[in-house]
Chains A and B, each alone.
Chain A
């Protein structure tokens, strides 16, 4: 079980805002910390995969329920 150090609600925001918010949030975390992100933009699934590929952080989980997308990302 991953301990979530921070939560970011990006509901109602479209690309690039969720990833810019995530970048800013992750910059404040320590290596190994986990952030949980909530988004409503269906495109965010691909965006956060790309985000992790490009930033080198780890996408631990990506799930969808009731039109909301939840991502857990561990800072590298």
Chain B
């Protein structure tokens, strides 16, 4: 007789299956019934673990996104200057996405679908780092350590650089950049970013 799955194992297997389906078809492209069928349980069993489809989606993202504590650790462990902190936090993000690109696929899917729940989740994930850049650039401009730039536009520049690097390396597996690691590519892009805002260490 097959051993009944323990609750934690069942939850893990639901997340694993849901992750693949959400990454492939987006939030709206997959139903709870389909996820349950693929896991081999009834929808009722799935709802015992996740109160709603939205809760399941968040559970999947939480399982693959870097935990908040990892960002805290990155922020604290090393020099406090803007470039060092931003570099360490960026590397936490890209290392995690490289480990599991489904996170980024889900972000792309959510942008195309335009659903509010998923979009809100990803916006909040970017917000910390965006706020950090905006706030730091404003402060650094006061002491002439960066040029006076529109800090919101500069933040968009940063996000564009990092997203594009991840997109080329982890989603497209682009031939053009195959000789360079994601980490090295991002290191170079960050240098270009700091140069663009005329950052003085």
Contacts and interface: CB of A to CB of B under 8 A. Distances in A.
B177 interface: no
Interface residues of B, number: 16
A16 B127 contact: no
A23 B80 contact: yes
In this complex, the interface size class of chain A, counting residues with CB under 8 Å from chain B, is: 10 to 19
A16, A17, A46, A50 pick with most chain B CB within 10 angstroms? A16
Interface of A: 13-17, 19-20, 23-24, 43, 46-47, 50-51, 54-55
B68 interface: yes
Contact of A20 (B69, B80, B127): B80
B76 A54 contact: yes
B52 interface: no
Contacts of B85: 16, 20
Interface stretch (B99-107, B128-136, B167-175): B128-136
B76 A17 contact: no
Given A43-B68, A46-B68, A50-B69, A14 B76 contact: no
**Which of B73, B76, B77 has the most CB atoms of chain A within a 10 A radius of its CB?**
B76
Contacts of B71: 15-16
Of the listed residues A13, A14, A46, A51, the one surrounded by the most CB atoms of chain B closer than 10 A to its CB is: A14
Contacts of A15: 68, 71-72, 75, 128, 132
Given A16-B75, A46-B68, 9 more contacts: A13-B131, A15-B128, A15-B132, A19-B76, A50-B68, A51-B72, A54-B72, A54-B73, A54-B76
Q: Main SS of the interface on chain B?
A: helix
Overall SS of chain A's interface: helix
B89 interface: yes
A16 B89 contact: yes
Nearest to A21: B80
Contacts of B76: 19-20, 23, 51, 54-55
23 contacts: A13-B135, A14-B127, A14-B128, A15-B68, A15-B72, A15-B132, A16-B75, A16-B89, A16-B128, A16-B132, A17-B132, A19-B72, A19-B75, A20-B80, A24-B80, A43-B128, A46-B68, A46-B69, A47-B72, A51-B72, A51-B76, A54-B72, A54-B73
A14 B130 CA distance: 10
Nearest to A48: B72
B23 to A, nearest CB: 25
